[in-house]
Amino acid sequence: MLRVIACGSVDDGKSTLIGRLLANTGSATEDQLDYARNTRRGGSTIPAGEVDYSLLTDGLEAEHEQGITIDVAHLFLDLPSGHRVIIADAPGHEQYTRNMAVAASTADVAVLLVDATKGVREQTHRHLAICALMGVRAVIAVVNKLDAVDYDQAVFEKLASEVLSAADDLDQVASVIPASALSGDNVVDPSPNLPWYDGPTLLGALSAWEPPDRPQGDYRLPVQYVIRADDFRGFAGTVVGGPVRPGDSVAVAGGGVESRIERLLGPGGGDLDHAGPGTPVTVTLADDVDVRRGDLLTTPGALGNGLSPATAYSATLVWTAEEPLRHGRSYLLLAGSRSVPAVVTSVRGRMDVVSGKQFAARTLGLNDIGTVELTTDTPICLDGYRTCRETGSFLLVDRVSKETVAAGMVRHALRRGRNVVPHAYTVDRDARQRLKGQRAKVLWLTGLPGAGKSTIANALERRLHAMGLHTYVLDGDNVRSGLNKDLGFTPEDRAENVRRVAELTRILLDAGLIVIVALVSPFRTDRAVAKSLFQPGDFAEVWVDTPAEVCARRDPKGLYAQAKAGTLPNLTGLGQAYEPPEHADLVVDGTGSLDDATDELCALLHD
């Protein structure tokens, strides 16, 4: 079985090439051919009665209407040798780069199209770079539409040189084929229109491809399901890495507990004497070991060979969201069946997809490829992507919108993540609260600049102090004069500002204090992430609701005047959006009485 990703820029002729390949090898059905013979898109130049090969690959109605590939379509091709090829037809439009990256993650070979009339484009370099990142080392480049340039050898050689040079820079092995998908030149049969070319056709190149010898390393078995029945407890998953056999030693990565594989069951429930990579299996263990969904079973030796739990990783991200990456914001990291909160702590660089060089960057935008460092809330075992694709890759998901925002490949674990072990002290939060005679709690005041947050926080603390309660106020400006003095006011810096304040608040709460936070914190996602650090009942979100025109009229710090003069960009409410809470625990009228606001907050503390 050979897995191929077909990629190229929009209108490079990818669908026509694949369609002709399917048709000329007998891999398309008569129904499909009749449809492609009797259907025409608007503007099509294919004569009536002839097959429009591009229609054989478009599965969605929108693809038929627009004449572009939107989603990845998987097509099956039978080679003359009897081997089967799965072709992932990936979208060429930049908007759908995320789909292309997913398709590349399982491919052995990339068929990369280059339009002879348009040359090598940025999207060509991007697709090469993504294939390289996803571990696709073999590239068959097809310079298509040579009929439109009179089968000019010089045009082909120039483009072939560019593609080979780019692939070599990415450590890929590439070959280049001149072709015309429309005329059928060099797709299945050698073309008489290209007498100067004596290499293989596309079909010949696919047929001749042999998988590289892969070292038979340690096996991995990510546990996807725990099967329980009478006198039976098995762990189901798909084998990756090396083969596994009954009697093999096994360790639970993370816990380090060891046992031995007692039985190895195939998909039909029958016993197997071995299972290679890609085989779905269920294993039973000789000992009653605690194994859960999301755990990783492997050989004990692998635990000392780079695979050990860590909370910090260096990784490469392909950013696929419209909204840019905000380091400091918490995302969900999905690796196999595990899901843990993760924070991108820094962006180390962004790749120029044309030159392949890394440049300094503070964030990543749509379709950017960059190197980052991230941390997870709990230790997780991830391989380096070069060691194992399946256990070295992950997705990042926005915790609020549930949108997949990035595909990631682990470069290596960071040692500092392995060396951090929380220490449990005898004197805990409960003991500190009892000593102070109060219940610790966080009141997080959010609102526009000038809404009155600091004024209300000051009045509230004075009253609580007079009542003999122990408090502390974290004010936005005060924090930025010390702990967060290195941060600006861009969305990603604001996310980091909220993250640091939330972490500091958690420490103060653990000290048994009532913590009042007065922070603009304009984005719902950042506030939601801050709230997620606390136990239910410990955190109350308070919206100081003051109309923007009132805030601008008050303007106690002169911020609105500066923003209107154009000297202060990114002021919340003018240069940057403010997202009010949708389900605040309390809404305080910022234009009302200060005593009333203090009363309401005191009542909230006693709820």
Q: What is the 3-state secondary structure (H, E, C) of 238-249?
A: ECEECCECCCCE
Q: Is 15 helix (H, G, I), strand (E, B) or coil?
A: helix
C-alpha 258/C-alpha 297 separation (Å) is: 9
451 known member of a binding site:
yes
Residues in the chain, overall count? 607
Q: Quote the crossing angle between the two packed helices 30-38 and 14-24, to the nearest 10°.
A: 130
Query: Which one-letter amino acid corresponds to residue 58?
Result: D
Among 453, 390, 376, CA closest to 418: 376
Tell me how far the alpha carbon of residue 419 is from its chain's centroid: 26
- Using an 8 Å Cβ cutoff, are 148 and 175 in contact? no
C-alpha 73/C-alpha 78 separation (Å) is: 17
Q: Which residues of 590-601 are buried (b: 16+ CB within 10 A; e: fewer)?
A: beeeeeebbebb
Among candidate residues 175, 521, 532, 593, the one labeled active-site is 521
Query: Which one-letter amino acid corresponds to residue 338?
Result: R
DSSP bridge pairs for 225: 236
453 known member of a binding site:
yes
Is 521 an annotated catalytic residue?
A: yes
C-alpha 12/C-alpha 159 separation (Å) is: 14
- The 8-class DSSP code of residue 325 comes to P
- The 8-class DSSP code of residue 148 comes to G
Among 354, 331, 350, CA closest to 342: 331
27 known member of a binding site:
no
- The 8-class DSSP code of residue 185 comes to B
Strands (E), 159-257: 173-178, 219-222, 225-229, 232-238, 240-241, 249-253
Query: Which one-letter amino acid corresponds to residue 202?
Result: L
448 known member of a binding site:
yes
DSSP bridge pairs for 359: 350
49 known member of a binding site:
no
Tell me how far the alpha carbon of residue 363 is from its chain's centroid: 14
42 known member of a binding site:
no
In the annotated binding site for ATP, the residues are: 447-454
In the annotated binding site, the residues are: 447-454
Q: Which residues are catalytic?
A: 521
